[in-house]
Structure 1
C-alpha cells in the first residue's frame, strides 16, 4: 500500500511539472534601456588639491568602453602616453584612469567620456559623463558655448575640435601650428553645438578645426579651420558661431620624379600660379614643354633628344628661388592617345573636347571632318585650349546625329608622333528632353556674385557670374535631375570662391544656400525665389 502511494505521488508531481512547462515560453521581460549609474568616484567628483595617480569610477552594473579613442576629450589635452584607461576589452564594474605623468599646477582637468561608457549587455550609454578635478584650491567653472557651421558646404561637419589658447605674454598666432590648446572640446556627433567647460577667467583665442590627425595642432594641408576674429574675454555670456573652411595651402615644392621616358614630374602644394621651372644648361637641340596636372598637383616637364644623365632646374615662385637636380631614370615611353570628353550624347549646353596623353605641337583642321546625320559637313572651328586639350566649336543643333572623323596627321604631339584614325559618333537630344530653372534673387547683399547649380552631392554642375542685379537668373537646357543652388558673394571679382586665412584674420567669401532640393523635370520651366539670408 505504501509503495502504491509513493507511485501515485510521484506521478502527480511529474504531471504538475509537465503542466507548468506547457504554460508558455518566457519573454525575458522588457529590454533594459537604462544607462549605468555612477555609485561613487575615488577621488570624488570635483576634487581639489588633486595629487593622486589613480582614479576609479564605480558603477551599479558591468560596463565597458566603446569607441573610447573617438569619444574621449581631455581638457587641457594630455599626451596619450600620460594616461591609461581600463578595462577596454572586457566588462567591469569600474573604469580606472591611471595618470603616468605629472599634471599642471592650479589647473582644472575635465575628462569627458562622451558616450563611450556603456553597459556590458545592451550597450546603453552613460551620456557625456565628465570627471572633473583640480590640482589647485578650486574648480574653474566658466564656460564657452557656441555653434559650428560650414563656410562653403551645406552641412556642418561632426567631430570638430574646439580650442582655447590663453593670450598671455607667450602668445603668438603660430601657437596653433605647434602646440595643443589650453582648453579643448569636441562636437562629437552633435554636428553643430559645442561647450568648453571648466575654464578659468582670462583672455583667449577661440578656434575650431577638423583635426584629421587628432594631434590638437593645425595642419593647413589637411585640416579645416574656423576662428573668432577678436580675442574673447571670460567670463562672457555670448554664444559664438564659427564657420569651418579649408585654407589655400601655402605654396611649397614636393618631390621630383621620373614620370615617363621623356617626362619629369615636379610635385607641389598650394597655388602654382606664377611657378617658373627653367631647365639649365641644355643644348639647342633639346626642346622642352611644360603642362600641369591639377588633379595630382604636378607640373610635368617634357623633353626630347636629351643625352645627358641629369637635368638641373631653376625654380621660382613668388619669393621662392631654388635649384634642383634630377637624375634621369628609365621609365615607360609616353605615346599619343586621344579621348573624347563625352560618350554618346553631347548635351545642348556642353562643349566638345578631346584630351591627348602627350602635349600637342600642332593641329591640322584639314584632317578633321564633322558630319551631321545626313552626312552633310558641319562648319566648325578647332583650337588648342591647353597643351593636352583640343576644343571644337560649332552650332549644336538639337535632335541630331553627328560623326567626327580625326584622320592621321590631324594632331601632332611634342614628339612628332601623329594620331591614328579616330572616329567618334554622338547625338544631341530634343529641347523637350531638358528643363529650365528661373531664379528670382531677393536680398543679395552686394555684387558681383556667382550663382551655382550643384547635384545632390554638391558637385558643381553650372556656374554663372553676375555683375549687377538682374530681374531673373536663367539656367536652361538642364538635364532632368535634382539640384541645389548656392550663391557666392565674389568680393574680389575673380569669378571663383576664395577661402580665408587665419594668420591674416581673413574670412572666406560668403556663401548662401537655397535650402530646397529642386526637382527639374523634362519639358518644364521651374520658377523659384531664392531669398538670400
Structure 2
C-alpha cells in the first residue's frame, strides 16, 4: 500500500493516541496541591545553642526555607537588655541579629523571638523560638514565669514589659534599667529563662516610651509584694512500669521555683491636677474636664463682673467632668465670657495650694441668610405672635413591653427650678374615673434633672401617665408641655431569674450583673457581707455575666492599687460561664468566693460552643461528601479502559 493510501489511517491512529494520552493524564480535576502548613525548620545556628565563651558580634539562624523577618525587630526581646537596638538582617535563608554594642562579660543572653519568624509561602510561624548563649564559661539556667492581667477585668495584657531588678531599692524601677526583661504573649504569659541566682523585684509595665523605667502617672504598673529568689529542684521518679530489679529505671524532672507569679496591672492614682478641656457647648452650657476629681476643691468666678446665682453646676459621679449651665440670660447672650477656675494643686514640695486658671468661653450663633430672615419676619407678621416656648419631657416609656422591675424616668433637658409632684398622675387606662395609683415620686440621685416614679406594676396591664402643662419650670422660666402617654407592662412569665448562692464570703463583696460584651456595663449590683443567696429577678431572656468585687475598704466601689504606698488593687472574680436566661426559668448557681490565686477568667458561652461544634461537624460531613463525589468522578474516567497501569 502506498504512503498516500496509508495517510488516513495514520491520522486516525495519531488522533486516537492523543485521546488516550489525554485520558491517562487527566484522571480528575486538577488541584493546587496541599497547602503548606509546615513552619520553617531551624537547621543551623552560629554560635551553637547554649554556646559558652562567645565573643562574637552577631547571631545567625539558618532555616530550611526563606523567611519573612518583618515582625522580628518589633517582637524580639534580648535579655539582659541592650542599650542599643540590634540590627535585623536576612541573607538567603539566614536571619542575622547584629549587636550594635559590646556584650557584657560572663553573662548569659537570651533572645526571645516569640512567633515573629514566619516562612515566605504561607507565613507559618516558628512558634516561641528562644535562643541563648553565654559570654562566660557557664550558662545560667534558672527560670521565672507567670502571667500579667488587667486588674479590673482580669483580661490578659499582651506585650506588657516584665522587669527583674536586682537593685532592691524602691526607686530602682523609676531610675535604673532592669537586669532582665521579658514580654507577654497574647495570653499575657511571660518567661524569664537563663537567669542567674539572686534576689529580685519583679514588675510589669506598659512602658509607653520604651525607656525600661516606670513613669509614674503616665504608665500602668504591676508589682509582686515580696522578693523572688529563683531556684531549681530535681525530682527523681521511679518508672513503675519496668519490672525486675535489674531493669529499674529512675527518671525525673527539674522543678523551677518560685511557682508562676500572677501580676495585676493597674493605673496608679497620682494627684497631678490640671484642666484637660474647656468648651462652651451652647450659649447656655459649658463643660470643664479635669484629669483628677475636683470634689470640694472647685470654684468658678467671673473676672469682669459680680453676679450671684448665675450658674448651675452638674458634675459627673467621679467629679472630674463638670457641666455648667449659665442661668443669667443676659450673661449667656455675650459671645465671650471670661471666667476664673480655682482648684487644688501640688507644688514642687508636694504642698497643696490653690491653682487659678483664666479661661475665655466663646460661642457665636451661625449667621442666618438675610433672605431667610426677611421671609421669617413676613411669616411671623402673617401668623401672629410666636407660641410660648415649652420644653418636652424625655422618658423611658414605650407603648408596650414596659419592664415590671423598672421605674418610670422623667428627664428635663435643662436644670429645673421647681416641679410640682401633685401635677403628675398615673392610673389604669381602663379606669374611666382616672383614679390615681399610689406611685412613689423621688429625685434620681445618680442622673441630673431626672425623677423616678416607682410602683409594683401588675403584669400585662395598661397604664396611663399624665403630667399637667406647666407642672415644671426650668431656670430660664420655660415651662413643660403636657404629657399623656400609655404603656403596657410585660407578662410575668416573660422573665427569668438568677439565684446565686455565695459561700466563703470573708470580706464585703459587690456582686454585679453585667451585659455579655467586652465593655461589661453594670445592669444591677448588690452588696453582700456574709454567705447568702443573692437574687437577680425580672431578667429579660438574654445572656449575662456575673462579677464580684472584693470591697476590702467597704467604700462601695472598686479601687486601684498604689506602688508608692505598697498595696494591690482590690480583687475581682467572675463566674466563668455566660448565663443564659430563659423565660419563666430560674438559674440556680453556687459560687465559692474563696480568692483564686491564679485570677482565672475564662468565660465560656456553652451555647456558642455547641453551635460551633455542630457547624464543624456539618462542614466535616460536607467535606466527606465532596471527597466521595470526587472519587466517583475519577472512577468514571477509569471506566473507559484507560488507567495509568494500562499505559
Q: Same fold per TM (> 0.5)?
A: yes
TM-score (norm 2): 0.70
* Residue pair 1:105, 1:136 contacting (<8 A) in 2 also: yes
Q: Over residues 341-392 of structure 1, what are the superposed CA-to-partner deviations in whole Å (9 max), with x where a residue is unaligned? A: 4555442222222334433332233444434323623344243636833222
Unaligned runs of 5+ in 1: none
1:460 corresponds to: 522
Secondary structure of the corresponding residue to residue 328 of structure 1: strand
Residue matched to 1:291: 314
Question: Conserved in 1, the CA contact under 8 Å of 2:55 and 2:135?
Answer: yes
1-side partners of 2:365 and 2:483: how far apart?
Answer: 24
Please point out which of 48, 56, 61 is paired with 1:57: 61
Structure 2: stretches of 5+ with no match in the other structure:
233-256, 347-351, 367-389, 595-647
Instruction: Check conservation: 2:269, 2:560, Cα contact below 8 A.
Output: no
Higher helix fraction: Structure 1 or Structure 2?
A: 2
Matches within 5 A, 1:133-532: 133-134=133-134, 138-149=138-149, 151-153=151-153, 155-168=155-168, 171-173=169-171, 175-176=173-174, 181-189=178-186, 191=187, 193-209=189-205, 216-218=212-214, 225-235=221-231, 237-247=257-267, 249-251=269-271, 252-260=273-281, 261-279=283-301, 282-285=305-308, 287-293=310-316, 297-303=320-326, 304=328, 305-306=330-331, 309-316=337-344, 319=352, 321-330=354-363, 338-341=393-396, 343-344=398-399, 345-374=401-430, 376=434, 377-380=436-439, 381-383=441-443, 385=445, 388-398=448-458, 399-444=460-505, 446-457=506-517, 458-470=520-532, 472-532=533-593
CA positional deviation for 1:247: 3.4
Q: Alpha-carbon deviation of 1:273?
A: 3.9
Question: Per the alignment, do residues 108 and 484 of structure 1 end up closer, same or farther by CA in structure 2, a change over 3 Å counting?
Answer: same
| TM superposition shift of 1:416 | 3.4
Kept in 2: contact 1:370–1:404 (CA 8 A): yes
State whether residues 259 and 265 of structure 1, in contact with CA within 8 Å, keep that contact through their aligned partners in structure 2: yes
Instruction: Give the direction of change, closer, same or farther, for the CA distance of 1:53–1:443 in structure 2 (3 Å limit).
Output: same
Query: Secondary structure in 2 aligned to 1:396?
Result: coil
Q: Whole-Å Cα distance in 2 between the matches of residues 417 and 295 of structure 1?
A: 30
SS in 1 for 2:479: coil
* Alpha-carbon contact 1:364-1:409 (below 8 Å) kept: no
Query: 1:23-69: CA deviations, max 9, x gaps?
Result: 55665665444322223233444455655554432212111136446
* Partner in structure 1 of residue 85 of structure 2: 82
* More strand as a share of residues: 1
Distance 2:140 2:315 in 1: 55
Counterparts of 1:395 and 1:309, CA distance in 2: 46
More off after superposition, 44-53 vs 236-245: 44-53
Deviations 1:226-282 (A, max 9, x none): 321012234461113324243363343233423233443322224444442242655
Distance 1:2 1:162 in 2: 92
Aligned-residue offset at 1:97: 2.5
Distance 2:302 2:106 in 1: 61
Structure 1 position 173, deviation (Å):
3.9
Q: Hey, what's the Cα distance between the residues in 2 that align with 1:41 and 1:179?
A: 33
- Which has the larger displacement, 121-130 or 23-32? 23-32
Deviation of 1:154 (Å)? 5.5
The CA deviation at 1:323 is 0.7
Asked if 2 retains the 8 angstrom alpha-carbon contact of 1:248 and 1:271, the reply is: no
Other-structure match for 2:631:
none
CA contact (8 A) 1:208 1:242 kept: no
> Is the Cα–Cα contact under 8 Å of residues 249 and 271 in structure 1 kept in the other structure?
no
Q: Judging changes above 3 Å, is the alpha-carbon distance between structure 1 residues 159 and 402 closer, same or farther for their aligned structure 2 residues? A: farther
1:175 and 1:255 map into 2 onto residues whose CA distance is 28
The number of aligned residues is: 522
Alpha-carbon distance, 1:210 to partner:
5.1
- Higher mean C-alpha displacement, 26-35 vs 202-211: 26-35
Q: Is contact 1:256–1:326 with CA below 8 Å preserved after alignment?
A: no
- Find the counterpart in structure 1 of residue 610 from structure 2: none
Question: Deviation digits for residues 449-483 of structure 1, max 9, x if unmatched?
Answer: 2222223224322211123443x322222222233
Structure 2 Cα separation of the partners of residues 253 and 336 of structure 1: 36
SS at match of 1:144: strand
Q: 1:351·1:391 contact (CA, 8 Å) conserved in 2?
A: no
In structure 2, the partner of 1:117 is: 117
State the TM-score, normalizing by the size of structure 1: 0.83
Stretch of structure 1 that moved more, 44-53 or 420-429:
44-53
Q: Is the 8 A contact 1:441 1:531 kept in 2?
A: yes
